[in-house]
Amino acid sequence: MNVKELLTTAVEQDAADIFLVPGMPFSYKIGGRIIYQGQEKIMPEEMDRMITQIYELAKNRDMAKVREHGDDDFSFAIPGVSRFRANIFRQRGSLAGIIRVVRFELPDPEALHLPKMIIDVARMTKGMVLVTGPAGSGKSTTLACIIDEINRTRNAHVITLEDPIEYLHRHKMSVVTQREIVTDTDSYLTGLRASLRQAPDVILLGEMRDHETISTAMTAAETGHLILSTLHTIGAANTIDRVIDAFPPGQQQQIRTQLSMVLDAVISQQLIPTLDGGVQPAFEVMFLNNAIRNMIRESKIHQIDGVIATSQGEGMISMDNSIISLYRKGAISRENAIAYSSNSELMAKKLDR
């Protein structure tokens, strides 16, 4: 089996991921569902050959890492087809791989149902914006749309630190330099510290994994840069708690004060299966006003949800209201509306009104 043909077909069929696991047919993930391609199971010896072909496509990358440690993560491209991110690993003693398709063309915000208020984050010139949600909820895609809007409308230097690079930005009105962790720089923290000496206007930080990175990012936001980053939390209030809890107890009050000054928006999202077999995003959007800044400073995070629910005039929306709106439009089922809400009993009552 030729891996190049397999990857090309995956791109043509609009697959998001390709599963190469011994003992089952190779599969594509299309529209959130894993679909077998044929009935023929791939045996471990054949799989080893296929994985070797992937390493050859990645400029003959050395296989020592996966053989010694059992895991390897890297990107490669097939000219004229697409870019791919491969995660190769050992399972049950044999090699397997999950390959993500990385699109050359940038996503269309309208086709993704991204509200205008989220794209308008591109107008901000300083501060910190966090895009949050579970893995696979489209955070990278939302950020790619915001970066593209900056690139189209502003003359700025945008630096992205990603693991791995998921969308390729061409230089339009802005200069966009994209750095991949491990390939181009050692870590998020190293890359972030270096980026502050590279005359940036906007820094996209793929992930904030520890308190050192968060602290450096907040300082960068304080000094007049726009910092965009992600966390794996659902809901604005949970996000603020998560940032503060990353620090030792002795530093938390200082961090509350700093965060209340630098944070400008939290966009929380999750993808909900629709009735027509696709997915649609539900959003919680919080822009920080004086009331919310005071709540962060005074550790009254539990009151933030109430402010979001009553601040639609300021462009905010709560996750539950976003889900109810999708349900009323007939996009999602009642079961999914309840399953994806933060409080299922309360959501059931709201839907019955």
Neighbours of 194 (CB within 10 A): 14
By three-state DSSP, how is residue 180 classified? Answer: strand
282-321 pLDDT per residue, tens: 999 999 999 999 999 999 999 999 999 999 999 999 999 9
Mean predicted lDDT score pLDDT of the chain: 94
- pTM exceeds 0.95: no
Domain boundary residue, one of 49, 77, 102: 102
**Residue 108 in domain:** no
Per DSSP, the three-state class of 260 is helix
Residue 111 is assigned to a structural domain of this protein:
no
- Give a yes or no: residue 110 inside a domain: no
Question: What whole-number distance in Å separates Cα of residue 102 and Cα of residue 117?
Answer: 26
Across residues 29-38, what is the average pLDDT?
A: 87
Which whole-number Å values give the CA distances from 341 to 327, 332, 335, 352, in the listed order? 12, 12, 10, 15
Mean pLDDT of 78-86: 89
Cis, bond preceding 109 (omega within 30 deg of 0)? no
pLDDT for 226 beyond 80: yes
> Dihedral angle at the C-alpha atoms of 23, 39, 15, 267, nearest 10 degrees?
-60
Encoding tokens for residue 59? 């400029």
Q: Are residues 91 and 178 in the same domain?
A: no
The pLDDT of residue 196 is: 95
Q: For residue 266, give the nearest of 238, 294, 303 by alpha carbon.
A: 238
Contact 327, 348 (CB under 8 A): no
Total of domains in the chain: 2
Using DSSP bridges, classify how beta strands 71-78 and 263-273 pair: parallel, antiparallel or unpaired.
Answer: unpaired
The tokens describing 16, both together, are: 């998001």
Q: What is the pLDDT of residues 202-220, one digit of tens each?
A: 999 999 989 999 999 999 9
Q: Which helix (H) or strand (E) holds 69?
A: helix 64-69
Longest pairwise C-alpha distance within the chain: 62
Q: Which of 102, 135, 150 is the last residue of a domain?
A: 102
CATH at 178? 3.40.50.300
In a domain, 46, yes or no: yes
DSSP 174: S
Task: Determine the Cα–Cα distance for residues 146 and 105; give it in Å rounded to an integer.
Answer: 15
Residue 85's domain comprises: 3-102
Can you tell me which residue has the tokens 């910092």? 227
Residues 70 and 200 grouped into a single domain: no
170 and 32 together in one domain:
no
Same domain? For 156 and 46 the reply is: no
